[in-house]
Structure 1
Amino acid sequence: MSSPTTLPPFEPLDPAGIDDLLSDDEKAVRASVRQLCAERIDPYVADWFERGAIDDIRGLTKELGSLGLLGMHLEGYGCAGMSATDYGLACLELEASDSGIRSLVSVQGSLAMFAIWCWGSEEQKQEWLPQMAAGDAIGCFGLTEPDAGSDPGSMRTRARRDGADWVLDGRKMWITNSSVADVAVVWAQTDEGVRGFVVPTATPGFSAPEIKHKQSLRASVTGEIVLDSVRLPESAALPEVRGLKGPLSCLNEARYGIVWGAMGAARSSLEAALDYANQRIQFGKPISAFQLTQQKLVDMNLEYTKGVLLALQLGRRKDAGRLRPEQVSLGKLNNVREAIEICRTARTILGANGISLEYPVIRHANNLESVLTYEGTVEMHTLVVGQAMTGHPAFR
């Protein structure tokens, strides 16, 4: 039995000692991503958020690729082939900087690249995946439409055969990376069911106007996809999947990253609140010495700790090939909801300073309002878990 003198020190941001559950290699992955964020993102991200633009997004994407972060959990084709837990830890660190940066990596790797890697032809994989893994090509994922969000089966984008070609018409909305992308994975209704298509964005009839006036995810490129008689060869279609199984499998990959990423935003806000509370003097002492402030800090840390433990459990199951979609829904539902509450509570500790971009808290809170509803709303994930528990679908 250990004596008190041999106990490790208490870590304020890891009160349960979760680091004990990580391997040295996993800690090294986390450290390398954290260093990149500290040098390349953190000094600039508040300005990017305020201006609604990332400086040199292609240069940043190449730097992310050079570290192996793009499609890092995929095998072959220039991808790093790392574990799901490694990928989760990377998402946590990226979103501790900003949700928009994690979205860039998530859309590239877990949506666009994963769709090609999982459902594409060998020719499609060879053409696009090495470029995308290196950050030389940026991808986007066209599923959501103005009138088809939670119900992707009602999408209106259509692809029809015309001789040996496909012709696509339709419109996609709220598409991360669309206006800077080199390639788009677009999902459309066909006479054969829902099909996916690999669409070079230079194809005539393809346009991607950027969406402006956002108050969330401002350090992220968001746009539409407009398809006006876009003609593609047969080889552009993803050959290995029909129906909603294709896009939903990709969404599940992205949701898994969000389970981890949301905890990064939570940690950043918790850390900012703790530092501020220790420095802010009121009534002759730091506000961290008051009982109600300590209650806020402890409650925030408790939910953060539980969220990281949940993410790690899901990561271990994913690495073992045992992770179910319903479990990913459970993770996203809990972790994003708790992360938002942590950010809101952190804001109260910072008082008026909490709304300033001099601190990360309000930026994270605003970003998480988008994360709460993208890749599946609270309502949809609740019903996914509810159906798994009861056996009764309640979507309609």
Structure 2
Amino acid sequence: MKNTNSINRTIKMFIINILVVALVFIGFNYMRGNSQIATVGTTALNVREKPDAYSSVITQVHKEDKVTITDEKNDWYKIQTADKTVGWVPNWLLFDGTSGPYTNLTASVAKRNTELKKDNSESSEVIKTLKKNEHVNATLELNGWVRVYSDGKYGWVPSDSLIIQKNRDNKYKENQVLHVATTSAYLMSNNSTSSNKGDFLKYGATLTYLSETEDGWMKVKTKDGKTGFLNSWQVTSRKISSKEEKPGIPMPEFTVMLDPGHGGDDPGAQTNDGETLEKEVTLKTALAVRKELQSHGFNVLMTRDTDKFVSLTDIGKISSSSQANAFISFHYDSSAQANTASGTTTFYRKDSGKPLAQAINDSIANILPLENRGFGNQDYQVLRENSKPAVLLELGYINNDYDAAYIKNKNYHQKVADSVYDGLMVYIEEKSSKGAEN
């Protein structure tokens, strides 16, 4: 009987131990599923109030910083930083992003004989050679290259040739003149991201340095005598030249979806000689636009990048369920009779698409060689069944021999790409400015 009781107790203890281990395992995996420690892979990354590229910037995180991911929405991660600040970052940039926002960080050169290039390209002119461990200021990352400032000169180096320094070695002096180095800067009432926002400070605004807190906040004074706090990465002692290009919204956070019209079994319209199909040139055009936008850091999505058919219903669903900030559909027009119509037209359907249509159409009118027929409201399905700001571009009449000569030319596709980029920049700047004022 004693042996039986002993065996029963042993079995019970074994079962209890198994349950405890299971509960711990389940709890551990539950926590892993709801929060994850991540290491920032991008040189700099804006943390925003909401999962939206237009939302206000709360703070920045930098390469090798540890953050906790607590939620995900529309391809944005909700994170908590080391100082308990909570905000949102794009999930496509956090781990292995190669582009980021304007910043001001001290970095050391990690490799010997690192060449400082005039542009972010291997084939670009060499300005000078940087020594290993030499300190520079990192101001912007774009497609795996970092724009740095060294001995009075700006240039580009590969991202992996720099080590971001957590502790700045350049301390400012009292009453030293500083300048705002980022696009989004509010004068804070205290040295905390949760303190009250004061004036919105424009890029390049002049400030006077007063003091610095232990956690890296700068107490500064504006030209009109207002005092407040900014983070060290938001300011620079370098004078911002009037000739220096004003940075817009950081392009890596902005997603554009491109839709090459037709495809697969749907050829669309064709040239009068039947040798060129609309589905072919819409794809070539969209690919040229993608290349151009990506060169500026944009996150680009496509409804198709090969010769396949995507239904109009699916196009609307794909766009609406994506993180896209803008949707652009590419088409080439056709008239009932050959050689009777010519030119480009831009269409939108919903009010959200009208500013985008106007900005891109203005750019098209300035850049493309064909006559511009303006922009207007049209009930196209890809525009009507789309929750994003959406436009459809008719980029010439494919059954007009004059237009077709341009339409088939890759130089024309590049001009379309330039038009789309310029129009987007106008659209984004206007929308960002309205957001900053609110």
Establish whether TM, by shorter chain, passes 0.5. no
| Structure with bigger gyration radius | 2
Higher relative contact order (CA 8 A, sep 6+): 1
Normalization by structure 1: what TM-score? 0.29
More strand by share: 2
More helix by share: 1
